[in-house]
């Protein structure tokens, strides 16, 4: 009498493997979609990388080291993307 091999995969194991592959694909596609959306938002923002093309004004900053010794320094002020920047002019 010949014995049959029972070493094959069951339907439950196959379905679990397919489910895992589907979840991995879903997470990967979600990550790619998010990356594309972030890149598009960054492309639409106006970003200033050079220092020569912006409007600056000379200002004097007074820094109080302690209550009795304020120190004044010359600086240049400019605004970019809603932020204020001060550059020390030593």
Quick check: is 22 in a domain? yes
Q: What is the pLDDT of residues 40-55, one digit of tens each?
A: 888 777 655 555 556 7
Cβ-contact 87, 75 below 8 angstroms: yes
Is the domain of 41 the same as that of 61? no
Cβ-contact 73, 61 below 8 angstroms: yes
Evaluate if residue 20 carries a pLDDT over 90: yes
Is the domain of 64 the same as that of 39? no
Where helices occur in the chain by DSSP H, the ranges are 11-44
Ramachandran angles phi, psi of 13, nearest 5° = -65, -40
Quick check: is 52 in a domain? no
pLDDT for res 2: 66
Nearest 10 degrees: Cα torsion 64, 62, 51, 37? 60
Quick check: is 74 in a domain? yes
Closest CA to 88 of 58, 55, 54: 58
Give the structural domain span for 64.
Answer: 57-88
Quick check: is 50 in a domain? no
**Total structural domains within the chain:** 2
Is the domain of 14 the same as that of 38? yes
Quick check: is 21 in a domain? yes
**Is the pTM value of this prediction over 0.75?**
no
pLDDT higher at 86 or 31: 31
């Amino acid at each position: 009498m010949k014995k049959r091999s029972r070493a094959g995969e069951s339907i439950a194991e196959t379905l679990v493997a397919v489910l895992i592959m589907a979840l991995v694909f879903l997470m990967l596609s979600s990550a790619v979609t998010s990356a594309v959306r972030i890149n598009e938002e960054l492309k639409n923002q106006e970003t200033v990388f050079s220092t020569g093309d912006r409007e600056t004004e000379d200002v004097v900053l007074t820094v109080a080291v302690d209550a009795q010794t304020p120190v004044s320094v010359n600086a240049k002020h400019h605004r970019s993307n809603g932020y204020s920047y001060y550059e020390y002019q030593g």
